[in-house]
Amino acid sequence: MFKLGVDADLKAAFEKNIELWEDGTEASLTAQSETKVLLAKAIKGATGEKKTVLSKIVELQDYLSQKSVWIIGGDGWAYDIGYGGVDHVISTGRNVNILVVDTEVYSNTGGQASKATPIAAVAKFANAGKKIGKKNMGFMCMSYGYVYVASVSMGANRAQTQKALQEAAAYNGPSIVFCYAPCINHGLNMRFSQVEEKKAVDAGYWPLYRFNPEAEEGKRFVWEAKEPSVDYQDFIQGEIRFSSLRKTNPEHAEELFKKSEDDAKKRMDFYKKLGVTM
């Protein structure tokens, strides 16, 4: 194409685009959009074979931009029935991004328990309260060492959520972001789901962290939840999925509520300690 007399600016833009292709930074995005602008300009004055070639490039210009590819699914899929696939995809080292919208139940099919359901929550197949703890899937993903992993809760910290999504997109390898998502099956007023997301973090129920394999040694894991400022039991009693346990399993409800708190504490502590080691 350059032999057909393409102007120097467009030639330079193409070269820069190729040079920065894998870069993933603002500079590469700017180079990609500049190429398109110059291409549109060049085609206006073009004739003959040059016009034919430039038209073909314009037709295919979507390929001049790096795509941020995201796989989005729920906890039932990611932690449970689709786990083998998710694990395989992240293990390959390919540049894919995964967003897990964690409602802690299979929401779409009516609220069945998944491996993401925490102790004491009432869900279908766990009517007397889930007896075993939530799977530490973030930890399992981090164990590869080359997977970007973050846990976010938008209502608790929007800036942290945005940072995690941007870092995940920019990381040239597999990334997975676990996002806390209140759901109608939790038995709460969905108008306040953002407030509930904040409470979950303030009660020490949901962790906020980022694990970035690209950061320098010792700074790869960042714990971003503050020390709990909301009583854990107050938080869970605000949701019918927990409070209804007194009806469905009155004999063991209190014991399971206590277990739920202990398990959450253990999980937070484990993540923090693991982060230091990673």
Ligand X SMILES: Cc1ncc(C[n+]2csc(CCOP(=O)(O)OP(=O)(O)O)c2C)c(N)n1
Of the candidate spans 72-80, 134-142, 163-171, 213-221, the one that interacts with ligand X by CB under 6 A turns out to be 72-80
Nearer to ligand X, 52 or 108 (CB): 108
The reply on whether position 182 binds ligand X by CB under 6 A is: no
Judge contact between 18 and 35, C-beta under 8 A: no
Residue 160 to residues 14, 56, 184, 189, 193: CA-CA distances in angstroms? Answer: 35, 42, 25, 25, 18
Question: Under a CB-based contact definition with an 8 Å cutoff, are residues 116 and 101 in contact?
Answer: no
Minimum distance, C-beta of residue 200 to ligand X, in the bound complex (Å):
16
83-102 mask for ligand X (x: CB under 6 A)?
A: ------------------x-
Member of 8, 109, 191, 276 binding ligand X (CB under 6 A): 109
Sort residue 263 into left (φ over 0), alpha (ψ -120 to 50) or beta: alpha
Q: Confirm if 250 and 126 have CB atoms less than 8 A apart.
A: no
The answer to whether residue 74 forms part of the interface with ligand X (CB under 6 A) is yes
Choices 85-93, 108-116, 120-128, 270-278; region in contact with ligand X by CB under 6 A: 108-116
CA distance 90 to 96: 8
User: Considering the complex, what minimum distance in angstroms separates the CB of residue 132 from ligand X?
Assistant: 18
C-alpha 132/C-alpha 86 separation (Å) is 22
Stretch that binds ligand X, among 16-24, 75-83, 89-97, 223-231 (CB under 6 A): 75-83
Select from 75, 167, 202, 261 the one that contacts ligand X (CB under 6 A): 75
Based on the shown chain and the rule CB under 6 A, indicate whether residue 238 belongs to the binding site for ligand X: no
73 binds ligand X (CB under 6 A): yes
DSSP secondary structure code for residue 37 in this structure: H
Query: What's the start-to-end Cα distance of the chain, in Å?
Result: 49
Q: Are 168 and 175 in contact (CB under 8 A)?
A: yes
Residue 261 · residue 232 · CB < 8 Å = yes
Q: By CB under 6 A, is residue 76 in contact with ligand X?
A: yes
CB of 17 to ligand X, least distance (A): 38
In this chain, which stretch among 12-20, 104-112, 215-223, 251-259 interacts with ligand X, using CB under 6 A?
104-112
Using CB under 6 A as the criterion, which residues of the chain lie in contact with ligand X when the complex forms? 73-77, 81, 101, 103, 106-109, 114
